[in-house]
Amino acid sequence: ARALRIGLIPGDGIGKEVIPAGRRLLEALPSSLGVSFSFVDLDAGFETFERTGTALPQRTVDTLKAECDGALFGAVQSPSKAVKGYSSPIVALRKKLDLYANVRPVKGVATSLFRQQPIDMVIVRENTEDLYVKEENTNPNGPDGRPVAEAIKRITGRASYRIAAMAGRIAERRQKMRAAGASSIHSEPMVTVVHKSNVLSQTDGLFRTTAREALAAATPNVRVEEQIVDSMALKLVQQPEYYDVVVAPNLYGDILSDQGAGLLGSLGLIPSANVGEGFAIGEPVHGSAPDIVGQNKANPIATMRSVGVMLEFMDLEQAAAKIYAAVDATLAAGIVTPDLGGKYTTTQVTEDVLKRL
Ligand code: NAD
Ligand code: MN
């Protein structure tokens, strides 16, 4: 059997309640899948910062690099006002492990203002450059005496190529999983490239042409379409069921990912993964939820689905498909936490999913 070691980074708040559900899920996978898991507990977050002076201890980074095949990250609490020396550990981890993609599956029933509609897409956000290089400048005395602030939007061929190639691989894998019986509303793999090259012809123009080049070279059987970002925002409301894999530069991807989450309602359902070459960290999209912490009310499903996404990037599609199907069955049976109108606890929902594996 393939033996895999998973780093567990619960972080703060309900991270400590949902990450154990992820661990139990991995432990409960049938041995017929030919894979076994061991675990190492790792610290990060605001509580870690208050205790040790750093939000991301070196041991956490070193252990992930040296020992782990993948990891699960819960949530961190950000201080309400800036605290000297504190910076987000997940942002730092993405940098240190070069996890250049943020991958967010958005699957479920979209409840827009107009109608109910099954949707099944994955938003792939480039996560290292664009406006988020944070090279900002302010001239306090502009030409008219008022300040002028500006920021660098940096797009590279390298980052655009690798993110688009990853989107193509994800589209192919989804097609493979469908062929193996995974439920889906799509029948053909497609990647939609999002940009605004009609205005930003050099930066977004580079993203667009490079993405097309990468997709044509790496995954020629995947259909490629483009969508200008503002019109994408409209389409995501009017026709979300149309999209399969969506790839975007950092800023647009950030915004569209949250819009995607909004289509589905509860944050407690939405998984993500931070992905680089050969390493993925599964991470529920929600935060530390201080309002429900310690009450056994946190919805574990975002984390359980994040386990599935992590496994997909470890080439364990079958295990991932089993998890998705079990979670869907639990949801369909109405075994849900209070955020979805149910009366079940974190523990009860977790155990119901395990039972259905
Ligand atoms: P949040 O996601 O923690 O909570 C928003 C609302 O959704 C709350 O009412 C919460 O109870 C509910 N919710 C979230 N996850 C849930 C789950 N699994 N089950 C049931 N209900 C759930 O966002 P927030 O309140 O804006 O932020 C709280 C803290 O989390 C802040 O310190 C913020 O900085 C941090 N945060 C961290 C991350 C992250 O670690 N990736 C993301 C967002 C916010
Ligand atoms: Mn965001």
Tens digits of residue pLDDT in 48-71 = 999 999 999 999 999 999 999 999
CA distance 12 to 352: 25
Please give the pLDDT value at position 264: 87
Closest approach atom of ligand 1 to CA 18 = 18
- Inform me whether the pLDDT recorded for 35 exceeds 70: yes
Q: Pairing relation of β-strands 116-126 and 190-195?
A: unpaired
- Inform me whether the pLDDT recorded for 115 exceeds 80: no
Closest approach atom of ligand 1 to CA 291 = 11
Distance of CA 265 from the midpoint of ligand 2 (Å): 15
Please give the pLDDT value at position 58: 97
Closest approach atom of ligand 1 to CA 283 = 41
- Inform me whether the pLDDT recorded for 172 exceeds 80: yes
Distance of CA 30 from the midpoint of ligand 2 (Å): 35
Q: What is the mean pLDDT of residues 37-51?
A: 97
Q: List the residue whose alpha carbon is closest to atom 30 of ligand 1.
A: 287
Query: How many other CB atoms are found less than 10 A from the CB of residue 147?
Result: 10
Distance of CA 254 from the midpoint of ligand 2 (Å): 5
Contact residues for 319 (Cβ-Cβ < 8 A; gap 6+):
29, 33, 35, 308, 311
pLDDT bracket for residue 81 (50, 70, 90): confident
Ligand 1 shell residues, CB under 6 Å:
14, 75-78, 90, 267-268, 286-292, 298-299, 302, 337, 339
Q: What is the mean pLDDT of residues 93-115?
A: 89
What is the tens place of the pLDDT at every residue in 2-24? 999 999 999 999 999 999 999 99
Please give the pLDDT value at position 113: 66
The answer, yes or no, to whether ipTM is higher than 0.95 is yes
Q: Which one of the ligands is nearest to 342 CA?
A: 1
Closest approach atom of ligand 1 to CA 286 = 2
201 CB-contact burial (10 Å; exposed 0-12 / middle 13-18 / buried 19+): exposed
Distance of CA 273 from the midpoint of ligand 2 (Å): 14
Please give the pLDDT value at position 112: 66
3-state DSSP assignment of residue 265: coil
Q: What is the mean pLDDT of residues 291-295?
A: 98
- Inform me whether the pLDDT recorded for 148 exceeds 90: yes
What is the tens place of the pLDDT at every residue in 194-204? 999 999 999 99
Which strands make up the sheet holding 70-75, listed edge to edge? 35-41, 2-11, 70-75, 280-282, 273-275, 101-111, 116-126, 245-248, 190-195, 223-228
What is the tens place of the pLDDT at every residue in 215-244? 999 999 999 999 999 999 999 999 999 999
pLDDT bracket for residue 149 (50, 70, 90): very high
Please give the pLDDT value at position 355: 97
Q: What is the mean pLDDT of residues 158-184?
A: 94
Give Cα 32 to chain centroid, integer Å: 28
User: Dihedral of the CA atoms 136, 139, 144, 150 (nearest 10)?
Assistant: -10
User: Dihedral of the CA atoms 343, 348, 354, 357 (nearest 10)?
Assistant: -20
- Inform me whether the pLDDT recorded for 114 exceeds 80: no
What is the tens place of the pLDDT at every residue in 240-285? 999 999 999 999 999 999 999 889 878 899 999 999 999 999 999 9
The mean pLDDT value of the chain amounts to 95
Q: What is the mean pLDDT of residues 152-169?
A: 98
